[in-house]
Amino acid sequence: MSDTTASGALRGVSVIVAGAGLAGLSAAYDLKAMGAEVTILDARDRVGGRVWTIREGFAEGQHAEAGGDTIDGAQDEIRALAARLGLKLSRILRGGWGYARPDASGRVRIVGRQAARGWDRLSEHLSGLARRYRMADQRWDSPITADLARRSVAQWLDEQQADKELRATATGLRGFFLADPDELSLIALVDQFAVSDPPVWGEMYRIEGGNDRLTLALAERLGDRLRLNTELVAVSHRGRGVRASVKQARALSQIDGDYLVLALPATLLRRVPITPALPAQQHEAIARLKYGRATKTLLQFSRRFWRVQGRPRAFGTPLPLGALWEGNEEQRGRAGILALHAGGSASDGTQAIVTKDGVQGLIAALDWLGSRGAALMASRQVVWESDPWARGGYAYFDPSFDPALRQWLARPFGRLFFAGEHTSVRWQGYMNGAVESGRRAAAEIEAGHHLKT
Ligand SMILES: Cc1cc2nc3c(=O)[nH]c(=O)nc-3n(C[C@H](O)[C@H](O)[C@H](O)COP(=O)(O)OP(=O)(O)OC[C@H]3O[C@@H](n4cnc5c(N)ncnc54)[C@H](O)[C@@H]3O)c2cc1C
């Protein structure tokens, strides 16, 4: 991260930032460096939003991530930000991904590197569409994109007369997109394969000591500019300033500023009345964006029974418990935490298992990994679609979303600026996208202000 933000160009300018997730915190951090007087607020009693490191309840001082977990080697914004704040990254899951699925008799078996082969096959099948999409420079306002976007992945699989394997691979991607093939627009899949190798095959990292070290470090630098338990309930941006109406312990009050950064998920942003209203397309983009179901279960066992020489420590599965990996590989101790990440219908499946048989039901479903006889020490489960301040894991594009609307998610309107994972083009759905979007919003305010003066 360069120091160009420390410009002082916004001295005397007040900026309100709504949302203290990675996007809002990154925006506030840059705005402060630009000299702005920043007020950042969040409805929760903690910062970080969908970055949430859980420590409480786990033995041996261990922790694991209930939200954003792995950082890819190519994700420069978050890596640079962590470095700038003096935080180290630990390389994790070097053994890559394995795949486990039921055989003909229904017994779950680990089938080696099948996942990579599945991705290769999917990539081959998509290559023609990916080429067309690249011809459109991957623009979401092209008719090529519109034509791809109105079909679901399930429809495309039918058109391809896809075999069972290919369908299973596409379904397995619910852990990645948080949506099943019938929910997901084909453009989301083509977009992923048109760019490069799927990111899950690259190097993976997490922040030493927990990903919340990053959000807490940013919050610490913002000091008393941060207001927690403060909900944005309305925005008015008439005339020369912006007024944010906020609710704190049922009391309503107003905060005035020169600019406002809206760094809330679209699921919450669309509930906030904005006067004068946003342009129709922008309103529609925010109103229509879907968010995926995601349940993360963290299971701490007295020993790391899943560690077997030469075998990966991360697995994709078509099972209702979703994908799973060692959630604290970089931490010492005999005990260890397994992270179960269930996206789309697997989120429903995981919850159904827990409703029926409790967490023991999940452990029984991990028999193939060697869970029999393992002693559970602690468990935590977070259902993101039930979280009142997220209302979903992260955004995904469904076939009813007009791709030409996408650009409106990030477009400034008057004194209002937009940030958040969902506004990022290259890194939508990632922590890196959140950081990048917050920095972009701060730079937009600086540039816009510069143009005015
Ligand atoms: C289960 C799960 C797994 C994930 N895994 C990964 C991963 O491995 N790698 C990766 O890079 N990313 C991952 N992500 C995605 C990543 O966590 C998010 O993209 C990122 O944290 C989003 O940051 P944000 O700032 O855009 O939004 P948020 O973190 O949601 O921040 C928005 C903030 O706005 C607040 N808010 C909402 N409404 C209001 C209101 N009315 N007034 C005031 N405040 C409000 C919320 O409380 C929240 O703190 C995962 C996400 C989930 C849920």
pLDDT at 3: 46
Please write the tens of the pLDDT for every residue from 282-329: 999 999 999 999 999 999 999 999 999 999 999 999 999 999 999 999
- Model pLDDT, residue 118: 82
Ligand 1 atom nearest to 429, measured from its CA: 19
Ligand 1 atom nearest the C-alpha of 393 is 53
pLDDT at 424: 98
Which CATH architecture group holds 3-49+211-290+400-452?
A: 3-Layer(bba) Sandwich (3.50)
Give domain limits for the chain: 3-49+211-290+400-452, 53-97+202-207+291-386, 114-200
Q: List, in sequence order, the alpha helices (H) in 69-113.
A: 76-84
**Of the residues 227, 394, 428, which should be mutated to test ligand 1's pocket, given the most ligand atoms within 8 Å of the CB?**
394
- pLDDT value at position 5? 66
Tell me, what's the pLDDT at 87?
Answer: 98
What is the Cα–Cα distance from 227 to 234, expressed in whole angstroms? 16
* 3.30.1560, 1.10.10, 1.10.405, 3.40.720: CATH of 114-200: 1.10.405
| Ligand 1 atom index nearest CA of 390 | 30
**Strand-strand pairing, 314-316 and 97-102:** parallel
Low-confidence ranges of the chain (pLDDT < 70): 1-5, 113-115, 196-201
Q: Is 147 exposed, middle or buried (0-12, 13-18, 19+ CB in 10 A)?
A: middle
Q: What is the pLDDT of residues 222-235, one digit of tens each?
A: 999 999 999 999 99
Residue 399 Cα to ligand 1 middle (Å): 23
- Tell me if residue 39 falls in helix, strand or coil: strand
Which of 215, 227, 264, 267 has the most ligand 1 atoms within 8 A of CB, as the residue to mutate? 264
Q: So what's the architecture of 53-97+202-207+291-386 in CATH?
A: Alpha-Beta Complex (3.90)
Closest ligand 1 atom to Cα of 24: 25
d(CA 347, CA 68): 16
CA nearest to 434, candidates 142, 91, 28, 66: 28
Over the stretch 401-426, which tens digit does the pLDDT of each residue have?
999 999 999 999 999 999 999 999 99
What pLDDT, on the 0 to 100 scale, is given for residue 201?
A: 63
CB 415 within 8 A of CB 237: yes
Tell me the CA–centroid distance for residue 102 and ligand 1, in Å: 33
Tell me which residue has its CA closest to atom 12 in ligand 1. 430
Residue whose CA lies nearest to ligand 1 atom number 14: 68
Q: Which atom of ligand 1 is nearest to the CA of 23?
A: 25
151 φ/ψ angles, rounded to the nearest 5 degrees: -95, 145
